[in-house]
Amino acid sequence: MKNKNMMMLVALVLIVLAGAGGFFGGMTYQKNQASSLGIAGANGARSGNYAARFGQNGQSAANFRPVRGQVLDMNNNSLTVKLSSGSTQIVVLSASTAFMQSTKAALSDVKTGDTVNVVGTANSDGSVTAQQIQINPPTGGLVRPTGTTPQAPAR
């Protein structure tokens, strides 16, 4: 009887250790996946490739700012975009700003009244410096910057 109880105790300990090991392994795997995909961690901070992609020109990923709305005014240096809230956002253009449609586009393809998605970084004056602008984007989402990969929806 004593031998049987000892075997039951050893089996129980092994089951608990296997469960704990599986849990720890799963948590480690998930943490690595979140980091490599740039998913927000527990504190809401972005990490991994996300920071590398949007932390360009010495600016941190915290400055990342998407803008979507209708072009009200434009010149060679900036666009004024009317947001769905009714407010406006100034978007600063630079030589490295990419313009996209279904194919590559240029500033000359932007017209007043167009709807645009802007991906860029927030400036201290409230404007956004554009890294990429998508002209007349499909409804239902923001433009994904060149070089990023879409994430599969959660199941």
Where exactly are the structural domains of the chain?
A: 2-52, 58-135
- The topology under which CATH files domain 58-135 is OB fold (Dihydrolipoamide Acetyltransferase, E2P) (2.40.50)
Q: Where are the alpha helices (DSSP H) in 101-152?
A: none
Residue 58, pLDDT score: 47
Cβ contacts of residue 111 below 8 Å, gap of 6+?
A: 71
Residues 58-67: pLDDT tens digits?
445 667 778 8
Higher pLDDT, 22 or 77: 77
For residue 97, the tally of other CB atoms under 10 A from its CB is 19
Q: What is the pLDDT of residues 117-152, one digit of tens each?
A: 898 999 999 999 999 898 887 665 444 455 444 444
Question: Distance (Å, rounded) from C-alpha 152 to C-alpha 141?
Answer: 15
Contacts of 114 (CB under 8 A, 6+ apart): 70, 71, 135, 136
